[in-house]
Homo-oligomer: A and B are copies of this chain.
Amino acid sequence: MAGAGGGGFMFPRTATGRSSLVPPPPWHYSGTMLTVEFRTDPAAVAELLPPPLALAEEDPGAVAVIWADWQSCSDDFSELLDPVRAQYLETFVVIRCSYRGETYSRCPYIWVDRDFAMVRGHHQGYPKKLGELFVTRPVNVGLAGPRLQPGGRFGATCSASGRRLIDATFTITGTASTAGFVNGHPMLHHRVFPAIESDGTDSLHELVTMRGYDAEVGPCYAGEATIAFYESPVEELTRLAPQEMIGGYWQEVGTNWRAGTTLER
C-alpha cells in the first residue's frame, strides 16, 4: 500500500508501517461474552435495516446486547506483553436481518474503550463509539464475585459521555448448548464514509459480510436476564425497548479474523 500515504495497514501510514493504529490481520481474540437476549417491537429493528435488507423471517424482533471482555493481538503476539495494547471491553447490540434469502447478524450500535479496537471495528463495519463499560467477572475464590454455577449473578453497564446508557443483570440457572441465536449468523455490515465534499454522497459505501475462523468456546452458562436502556441526546437505545426477555448467556470465546467479503458497493 505504498501509494496510500506510505506503508502499514491502517493510518497513519509511514515508511516502516510501525505507527499503524491497527496492526495487519490476522487478529486473534480471547475473552468472555455476556449476552442478554430479548424481543422488541420488530418495527424498531426494521428501522435499522436499509433496503435491500429486510427483517428476519423468524423472530424478527429478537435483539442481543453483549458485553465482550477481550484480549486481542496481532500475529506476532507482542501486544500480550504490553496489555494496554491488547485488552478492551465492548458492549454491542445485535439484530438479525434477511438478505438474498439468507439470515445475517448485524450490529447497529456498539461502544468500546480503546482506540485500536474502535478503528479496527470501523474497518469491519462496526459503528463503534467510545464508552465506559463494565461487566462482573466470575471468580473461583473469595466472596467478591459469582461462581460459574447456578445462582451466580452478574451485572453489566454501558455509559458514554458521562451518561449511563444500559444496565443489565444475569443470573445463571444452568447450561446451554449455544449462547443464544441472535449473534449466531455471519455479520452483515455497511462500511460507510461520507465524501469529503459534504454533498450527501459516500466515498466508501459497501455492504460486507464476514465471520471469524477457528472459533473455540468454553462451557456455555445460561440463565435469566434483565436489561434497561436510558436516554441520551445522542443515542436511540430506548427505541429498542424490551417487550419480552428471552434470557442470558455467559461463555469464554476464542476467535480469529483475517478478512471479509464485499457483497455490494
Q: Contact residues of A with B, CB < 8 Å?
A: 1-6, 9-16, 18-19, 21, 24-25, 28-31, 47-48, 50-51, 70-73, 77-78, 80-87, 108-109, 114-115, 118-119, 122-125, 127, 129-130, 132, 134-137, 139-146, 153-157, 159, 161-164, 167, 169, 190-206, 208, 210, 216-218, 233-236, 252-256, 258-262
Contact = CB atoms under 8 A, between A and B. Distances in A.
B30 A190 contact: no
Nearest to A67: B83
B162 A157 contact: yes
Q: Is the interface of A mostly helix, strand, loop or mixed?
A: mixed
Contact of A13 (B169, B190, B203): B190
A15 to B, nearest CB: 4
Q: Across chains A and B, which 8 residue pairs bring their CB atoms closest together, nearest first?
A: A142-B254, A159-B162, A30-B142, A81-B155, A12-B127, A11-B127, A5-B190, A141-B254
**How many chain copies does the complex carry?**
4
A236 B194 contact: no
B108 A14 contact: yes
7 contacts: A24-B198, A71-B145, A83-B136, A84-B159, A139-B252, A163-B164, A191-B203
